[in-house]
Every structure is written in C-alpha cells, then in structure tokens.
Copies of this chain bind each other. A is one copy, B any other.
Amino acid sequence: MQIIDKEEYIQQLSIDCVIFGYQNNHLKVLVPKLVFEGDFWALPGGFTYQHEGIDQAARRILESRTGIRDIYLEQFWAFGDTGRSNQKIIEKLMEMNEGKPEEQQLRQQDLEWVTRRFISIGYYALVDINKVVPQKADIDESIGWYDIGQLPPMIMDHKDIVSKALDTLRLNLDEKLIAFNLLPETFTMKEVQELYETIYDKPFARNNFQKKILDLNVLERLDKKYTGAANKAPYLYRFRE
C-alpha cells in the first residue's frame, strides 16, 4: 500500500482546500476523516506534481473530492510557520497504529512523508452543495459536510486555515460577487439574503438588501415561484455575468 510516490511531487509543499457549501441556513465545509485510528480530521489536501502549477494542483484535488468541475476556486494564503508538523499528533498516530507489523511499516513510510514540516498553500472553493458527490481519498475513512461553527477536531492548524478562509470569503463576497456560487441555478431574493446573513452572521434589512443586490445588475429576474403558501409568490432569479 504505497500511497505517495515522493519523487514526483514538490517536497514539503502541500495544498489545502477549504470547500464551502451552503444548506439550510448553514455554511458548511467538506472535511474528510482520516483512516488512522484516533479520530483525526484534516482538510482535503494534496501535493503538487513537478510539472504542474499550484492552481492546477488545487483544482485537481478539488475536483477529485467533489466529483464536479468548473468550481469557483481561489488561493487565499500560504501557511508556513514552524510547528505545523505537530509532533503530538504524529506520536499519537504512531502509537495508535502499533500492533500491525506488516501494514505498520508501509504506513510508517507514508507517515514520514506526511508528517514532515510542510508549507501549505490554502485555497477556498465555493460549490453548490447539491451538485457535489463527496469522494473519499485512499487516506480517508469517510468524508462529510460540517457546519463551520461545529467543526470536528482537526489536525495541525487546519482550524486556523478554515478561519482565514472565512475571513477572505467575507472580504471578497461583495467585491467579487461570488456568493451565487453557493446557490443553485435559480433562487429567490430571500435565499440570497439568508445566505448573506449566514456568512456575515448578522441580519440585513429586507428592502435595502433587495435594492443593493438588484443594483448590482448581475441578476436576471425569471418567473415567480409558487410554493402553495398563503402569500405573494417570490420571483426567481438567475445569476448572469
């Protein structure tokens, strides 16, 4: 079970992806749980081939975990402090994986590579959560969406990486008009507002929000959406660039 061929990758450089999704008024992040015993979660990540750009690498990793293409993706920060290799977790991994001499040795090889000191480049992605079919990697036991307020305990500084990704998302949301990447093809104004309220964790005034969004001139008004509710039917909108 050779997971990683050291030679073809750039050494000590990793890519970590913060994949944002949105569902039921909750902002979520796609996080795999590692196969190693002991309940470790880690951001979807990987390495860069020698003849591959880092943006390409990030996109390859992203597509392999989501099963879809044409995703909004952007670099946001490089993490390179010492102490990122988190010796405590390594020791715990070593310890907890004792007692399986054959498999153990092979894992040891992987562990040596994985647990070296890495500089990691963080990318964040915005996806329509309904289109994604989360894909486990070899190193994963499972993979799932976690509410950004209730993340599982993650290795190293991965929690900080998510935090920095959220900061960047908030900074870029209005500037780059990227919120719509988190919504389905068509949506109501209320859904846009709830998305904004979720991301910024604060309320917006209904009428002013509508005016602000429509003044951007990036939404196309479609038919009304009849829900069967006893009230005026809201318009559906579609994002157009």
Instruction: Report Cα–Cα, A120/B26, bound state, in Å.
Output: 36
Q: Inside 8 A of A56's CB, which chain B residues have their CB?
A: 82
Q: Inside 8 A of A81's CB, which chain B residues have their CB?
A: 53-55
Interface size class of A (residues with CB under 8 A): 20 to 34
> Would you call A10 an interface residue if the criterion is a C-beta within 8 Å of the partner chain's C-beta atoms?
yes
B80–A55 contact, CB under 8 A?
yes
CB distance from A6 to the nearest CB of B (A): 11
Instruction: Report Cα–Cα, A10/B53, bound state, in Å.
Output: 18
Of A44-52, A142-150, A207-215, the one contacting chain B is: A44-52
B50–A117 contact, CB under 8 A?
yes
CB distance from A73 to the nearest CB of B (A): 14
A119–B13 contact, CB under 8 A?
yes
Q: Inside 8 A of A54's CB, which chain B residues have their CB?
A: 78, 80-81, 119
Q: Inside 8 A of A80's CB, which chain B residues have their CB?
A: 48, 53-55, 121
Query: Interface code A8-20, partner B: CB below 8 Å = 1, 0 otherwise?
Result: 0011110000000
A48–B119 contact, CB under 8 A?
yes
> Would you call A72 an interface residue if the criterion is a C-beta within 8 Å of the partner chain's C-beta atoms?
no
Given contact pairs A13-B13, A48-B119, A55-B81, enumerate 20 new A-B contacts (beta carbons under 8 Å).
Answer: A10-B11, A10-B12, A10-B119, A11-B11, A11-B12, A12-B13, A13-B119, A48-B80, A50-B117, A51-B82, A52-B82, A54-B78, A54-B80, A54-B119, A55-B80, A56-B82, A75-B78, A78-B78, A78-B121, A119-B121
